[in-house]
Amino acid sequence: MTYCPVMLQIQHDELKAIFGGEYLLQVYNNEGTCVFDKVLKCNYFSFVYENFKDDVVSWNIFFNYFVFKLDDKEDGGGWFYIVQFNKDG
């Protein structure tokens, strides 16, 4: 099964309050089903590509594992997270 991570910016203020953050990190399988999501407080965009700073410092997908590390400024930052997806996605 293949997976695709996406980062979504929450635009509406009421949705930001409901979700408790400004960004949503999601992973979808090849059937279009969201298999993981995590709300992020902020993304520290500088809007200057050379200085682009992202809450997700590093990420990769290895077989059925999604591995990522958050920026130290984010809640839970500095840790590596490993998410295992089941074989059915």
- The whole-angstrom separation of Cα 27 and Cα 34 is 6
| pLDDT over 90 at 57, yes or no | no
Please state whether the predicted TM-score (pTM) of the whole model is above 0.85.
Answer: no
Domain count, the chain: 1
Confidence label for 62 from pLDDT (cuts 50, 70 and 90): confident
**pLDDT, averaged across the chain:** 79
- 24 within 8 A of 8, measured Cβ to Cβ: yes
Question: What's the pLDDT band for 45 if we cut at 50, 70, 90?
Answer: very low
Residue 43 included in any domain: yes
- Whether residue 89 is contained in a domain is answered as no
pLDDT value of residue 33: 93
22: three-class secondary structure by DSSP: coil
Is residue 33 one of the residues assigned to a domain?
yes
Q: Which domain holds residue 26?
A: 3-84
Structure confidence by residue, pLDDT tens digits, 5-33: 888 888 899 999 999 888 888 999 999 99
